[in-house]
Amino acid sequence: MIEMYAAEINCETGVETVRPLTAQEITQRDADVARAEAERAEKDAKDATELAERTALATWIAGHADLTEAARNALARATGVSLPGTLPPAPLGGVT
């Protein structure tokens, strides 16, 4: 097992003390790491879903040959998606 340490500094004296983490501190650290990993996985899944939805919307817009190119481009700008072969839409409010 890898031993983990805590460094503590006494603000009044400036003395640094290095000590092994307690079992409770290790348990809390492990819980914090697991929570952070779960939050990261949830964010990655949400980002992937949003990308899939935006891609599906862009594909749907681009596939509507019954709309003029200007109408497809306007719809893409209004929904904030990029059609295949076009530049990404400008941010609302102009150039940043």
SS3 of 8, please? strand
Domain ranges of the chain: 5-79
List C-alpha distances in Å: 44 to 15, 40, 55, 72.
42, 6, 16, 30
How much is the pLDDT for 57? Answer: 87
How much is the pLDDT for 88? Answer: 59
User: Looking at the predicted structure, is the pLDDT value of residue 48 above 70?
Assistant: yes
- Split at pLDDT 50, 70, 90, the class of 11 is very high
Express each pLDDT in 51-96 by its tens digit.
898 888 888 888 888 988 888 888 888 888 888 766 555 555 555 4
Q: How far apart are CA 55 and CA 50, in angstroms?
A: 8
SS3 of 21, please? coil
Query: What does the block give as tokens for 90?
Result: 């400008």
CB atoms within 10 A of CB 65: 8
Express each pLDDT in 17-46 by its tens digit.
999 999 999 999 999 999 999 999 999 999
Query: What does the block give as tokens for 43?
Result: 């964010």
- Split at pLDDT 50, 70, 90, the class of 9 is very high
- Tell me, yes or no, if the pTM score tops 0.75: no
